Amino acid sequence: MKKKILYGLLVILIIIQFFRIDKTNPAIKIENDFIEINNPPEEIASILKTSCYDCHSNESTYPWYSNIAPVSWWVKDHINEAREELNFSEWGTFTAKRKDHKLEEMVEEVEEGEMPLNEYTWTHSEAKLTAEQKTLLMDWVKEVRETAKNKKDKKILHLNNGEKWGANIETTAGIERMLSIINEEIEDGRISLYAAMGQRLSIEMETIFAECTMEGDAHDQLHLYLIPLVEIVRDMEDVEKEDTAMILQKDILKHLNKYADFFESA
């Protein structure tokens, strides 16, 4: 009886060997690769390749035991699941939000010692991360996240690495004309003069836009600077109450003075 069962198992084991897993890696587009895009230091790249890429990329190398069913099925399952969750070969196709989330998960998984999977390090001892490697990897991943976040912050007015942005002379001259207009004193009760002031400022702003020859980041920053100004100047044109007008005048003056903190003409 025992013999029969063993014999039966052997037959099954032989038969399942015919159900082989597909080991062909999906095609790789190098421009979408995580390492290619983020260009980490050699040491980090090597950690990722050794400890993560077998499962989380389209560059899997299959161990010898992956030739034997049912272990092969189990290996293939891991790889499929890992690729589905996070495929480093397809990094370039992720949205900014997904990238950020995956980077966050990477830190978490490594910190908690969840990754690389234990089942993997049993047979790939070189993939086991030392405490030092973990710290290196996590610090670098956090840095990548931070850099991406700062790029997003480009949409906030800021200096050019601590220096002012170079503005064309016409822009600076336009701001100066606006400053002299806004500094004019208006007698009490002359509300219509505030609206007229708004119109004159508006004309100067149009000239600034028309004459601007700035390009690239400097141009984007000027735009960020001017947008709120356009809005308060428009409010000034439509102003009906004297106390509102006086507040607007102060706000515009404050915003115009800010120009020199961020821009200068050579």
Instruction: Spell out, one character per residue from 115 to 154, where the chain touches ligand HEC: x when CB under 6 A holds, - when not.
Output: xxx--x----------------------------------
Shorter beta-carbon distance to ligand HEC: residue 118 or 180? 118
Count of residues in the chain: 266
Task: Enumerate residues 204-243 that contact ligand HEC by CB under 6 A.
Answer: none
| Residue 117 region by backbone torsions, left for phi larger than 0, else alpha for psi between -120 and 50, else beta | beta
Residue corresponding to tokens 């290619």: 36
Residue corresponding to tokens 């007015």: 157
Shorter beta-carbon distance to ligand HEC: residue 127 or 245? 127
**188, containing H or E segment:** none
Binding-site member from 21, 44, 69, 106 for ligand HEC (CB under 6 A): 106
**Residue 191 DSSP class:** H
Per CB under 6 A, which region of 38-46, 107-115, 145-153, 204-212 contacts ligand HEC?
107-115
- Is residue 75 within 8 Å of 152, Cβ to Cβ? no
Residue corresponding to tokens 């063993």: 6
Structure tokens at 108: 């978490």
Q: Shortest Cβ distance from residue 70 to ligand HEC (Å)?
A: 16
- Give the span between the Cα atoms of 265 and 36, in whole angstroms: 39
Shorter beta-carbon distance to ligand HEC: residue 54 or 204? 54
- Is residue 60 within 8 Å of 47, Cβ to Cβ? no
Q: Does residue 40 belong to the site contacting ligand HEC (CB under 6 A)? A: no
State CA 128 to chain mean position distance: 29
Q: Does residue 198 belong to the site contacting ligand HEC (CB under 6 A)? A: no
Q: Shortest Cβ distance from residue 44 to ligand HEC (Å)?
A: 11
Q: Does residue 83 belong to the site contacting ligand HEC (CB under 6 A)? A: no
Residues that bind ligand HEC (CB under 6 A): 51-52, 54-56, 78, 81-82, 85-86, 102, 105-106, 109-110, 115-117, 120
